[in-house]
Amino acid sequence: MEFKPKLLLGIGVAGVLAAGAAWFISAPRAFDTAAFAGLTGDHKAGEQVFWAAGCASCHMAPGGDPMVLAGGQAFATQFGTFHAPNISPDSVAGIGGWTLGQFARAIQQGVSPDGAHYYPALPYVAYAKMAPQDVANLKAFIDGRPADATPSLPHEIAFPFNIRRTLGLWKAIFADDSYVITGDFTEAQQRGRYIAESLAHCGECHTPRTVLGGLDRSKWLAGAPSADGKSRVPNITPAALDWSDGDIFAYLTTGFTPEYDSVGGHMAHVVENMAKLPESDVQAVVAYLRRVPAIP
Per-residue confidence (pLDDT) for residue 194, from 0 to 100:
98
Q: Is 9 exposed, middle or buried (0-12, 13-18, 19+ CB in 10 A)?
A: exposed
Per-residue confidence (pLDDT) for residue 5, from 0 to 100:
62
Per-residue pLDDT of the chain (296 residues; tens, 9 = 90+): 555 565 544 554 444 444 455 545 777 888 888 999 999 999 999 999 999 999 999 999 998 999 999 999 999 999 999 999 999 999 999 999 999 999 999 999 999 999 999 999 999 999 999 999 999 999 999 999 999 999 999 999 999 889 999 999 999 999 999 999 999 999 999 999 999 999 999 999 999 999 999 999 999 999 999 988 889 999 999 999 999 999 999 999 999 999 989 998 889 999 999 999 999 999 999 999 999 999 99
Single pTM value for the model: 0.91
Q: Which segments of the chain does DSSP mark as H helices, in order?
A: 5-25, 43-53, 55-59, 100-109, 124-127, 132-143, 167-174, 187-193, 203-206, 245-254, 267-274, 279-289
Per-residue confidence (pLDDT) for residue 15, from 0 to 100:
46
